[in-house]
Amino acid sequence: MARGMIPILDLTRQYRYLEEPIGDAIAAVLASGTFINGANVAALEDEIARYTGAQFGVGCNSGTDALHLALRALNIGPGDEVITTPFTFIATTEAIAMVGATPVFVDIDPLTFNIDPLRIEAAITPRTQAILPVHLYGNPAPMREIASIAARHGLVVVEDCAQAIGAQIGGDRTGSFSDAAAFSFFPSKNLGAYGDGGMLVTSRPEVAERVRSLRSHGGRVKYHHEEIGLNSRLDELQAAILRVKLPHLETWIERRRAHAAAYSVALEGIVAIPDETPGTRHVFHQYTIRVSNREQVRDELAARGVGTMVYYPVPLHLQKVHEPLGYRHGAFEHSEAAAREVLSLPMFPELEPGEAEAVIDAVRSVCAETVPLA
Ligand SMILES: *Cc1c(COP(=O)(O)O)cnc(C)c1O
């Protein structure tokens, strides 16, 4: 080992790089005296909309709220079913449950970790109203296939883009393929704030308008309320910080992709490496391998100073909170296998080439004798 622990993520390096402009941006907001719905929020909404290719952006308190409000603005509610993947973070189904609808799971394609479009139609019932794909790990879900299924069955589509800002299919960016899409600015995401934050994007003006109202206590005019909403605004301070970071996002994505390419070249044939569908751009929020003896590999990598994480150890259909949905072990074999075998390696733009090499050396020596998965 060349040095100490190589963390899976180190946010301090990016801060050191941008310390001055971020300090200036924070000071300017403090001096302005405007902390809610100020000029930075409005500007960031335009900038993110333009970046994604959607027409409108609406800042929210978190990615979870953006997902929740997307579903509400699309009139998804009690009695409705929303088709989604069981191999994701709980926020995806939380948003569905918060509007009173029922998540219906469809297994993943084991190669991409995303919802398998070939299995979606079998899950559609007369109650189905929406499909909610997640671009897991930054790998874009098959949006063209999903959009055509949705069109055939008269369903809306909501994208969970929390891990995939900047990911592309055929040159178009995630967030532009659906009725509404949710982004997260949680600090560890590819575009991270210094606190919670999120944004809904849409090209449907009535959806943008409704979410603007819902995020501000259900009214467009102050002290005039049309429906029960909530308080879910993006802070002016966070928006100012994100506006300093956004111009660097493409460079940061390219660095992630360069680290991923180096990992993949060196690890192919030793472990199962991530797939990138031709014609798409994976943004490697996570670089996730699969190994059959994961806990042992994890421990041995830790002993060699390599930090790893498991996203996610329990698929959502087997979570205690979703017991009432009635799913059993074995219901979704690919999601369950992924939950047993996935392991994410250190991945962030500021990872140094020497660190990536040390990760590769460690994985190669730990995994050399294990049988690679298909
Ligand atoms: C992070 C994340 C969310 C939620 O974002 P928050 O801003 O933390 O609320 C939703 N879905 C997925 C897949 C995520 O990774």
The DSSP annotation for 313-373 comes to SS-GGGSGGGGGG---TTSSHHHHHHHHHEEEEP--TT--HHHHHHHHHHHHHHHTTSPPP
Residue 238, ligand 1, Cβ within 6 A: no
Residue 66, C-beta contacts closer than 8 angstroms, at least 6 positions apart: 58, 60, 182, 183, 184, 198, 199, 200, 211
Write the burial class of residue 165 (CB in 10 Å: 0-12 exposed, 13-18 middle, 19+ buried): buried
Residue 96, ligand 1, Cβ within 6 A: no
Top mutation candidate among 60, 184, 199 for ligand 1, by most atoms within 8 Å of CB: 184
Q: What integer is the mean pLDDT of 193-214?
A: 98
- The number of beta carbons lying within 10 Å of the beta carbon of residue 173 is 22
What's the pLDDT tens digit per position in 106-119?
A: 999 999 999 999 99
Using the predicted structure, report yes or no on whether residue 277 has a pLDDT greater than 70: yes
Using the predicted structure, report yes or no on whether residue 1 has a pLDDT greater than 90: no
Residue 358, ligand 1, Cβ within 6 A: no
Residue 88, ligand 1, Cβ within 6 A: yes
Q: What integer is the mean pLDDT of 178-197?
A: 98
Using the predicted structure, report yes or no on whether residue 257 has a pLDDT greater than 80: yes
CATH dotted code for 11-247: 3.40.640.10
Residue 370, pLDDT score: 58
Confidence of residue 368 (pLDDT cuts 50, 70, 90): confident
Q: H-helix or E-strand containing 200?
A: strand 198-202
How far is the centre of ligand 1, averaged over its atoms, from the C-alpha of 266 (Å)? Answer: 31
How far is the centre of ligand 1, averaged over its atoms, from the C-alpha of 88 (Å)? Answer: 9
Using the predicted structure, report yes or no on whether residue 371 has a pLDDT greater than 90: no
Residue 63, ligand 1, Cβ within 6 A: yes
Using the predicted structure, report yes or no on whether residue 365 has a pLDDT greater than 70: yes
Residue 220, pLDDT score: 87
Rounded Cα–Cα distance for residues 296 and 219 (Å): 54
Indicate the average pLDDT of the chain: 96
How far is the centre of ligand 1, averaged over its atoms, from the C-alpha of 184 (Å)? Answer: 6
Chain-centre distance of CA 252, in angstroms?
A: 16
CA distances for 133 relative to 129, 164, 187, 260, 356, angstroms: 13, 12, 22, 23, 31
Residue 372, pLDDT score: 55
CA distances for 280 relative to 19, 84, 133, 202, 320, angstroms: 33, 21, 16, 21, 35
Using the predicted structure, report yes or no on whether residue 202 has a pLDDT greater than 60: yes
Q: What's the chain's Rg over C-alpha atoms?
A: 21
Q: Domain locations in the chain?
A: 11-247, 249-367
Residues above pLDDT 70, as percent of the chain = 98
Residue 162, ligand 1, Cβ within 6 A: yes
| Residue 153 token pair | 């069955």
Tell me the whole-structure pTM to 2 decimals: 0.96
Residue with the nearest Cα to atom 10 of ligand 1? 91
How far is the centre of ligand 1, averaged over its atoms, from the C-alpha of 85 (Å)? Answer: 14
Residue 62, ligand 1, Cβ within 6 A: yes
Using the predicted structure, report yes or no on whether residue 340 has a pLDDT greater than 60: yes
CATH of 249-367, picked from 1.20.1050.10, 3.90.1150.10, 3.40.50.880, 1.10.260.40, is 3.90.1150.10
What ligand 1 atom has the least distance to the C-alpha of 91?
10
Residue 2, pLDDT score: 44
Rounded Cα–Cα distance for residues 328 and 352 (Å): 43
Beta bridge partners of 306: 6
Q: What integer is the mean pLDDT of 184-206?
A: 98
Using the predicted structure, report yes or no on whether residue 168 has a pLDDT greater than 80: yes
**297 three-class SS:** helix
Residue 93, ligand 1, Cβ within 6 A: no
Q: What integer is the mean pLDDT of 180-191?
A: 98
What's the pLDDT tens digit per position in 46-91?
A: 999 999 999 999 999 999 999 999 999 999 999 999 999 999 999 9
Q: Which residue has the higher pLDDT, 347 or 368?
A: 347
Residue 222, pLDDT score: 87
Confidence of residue 12 (pLDDT cuts 50, 70, 90): very high
| Residue 191 token pair | 């575009």
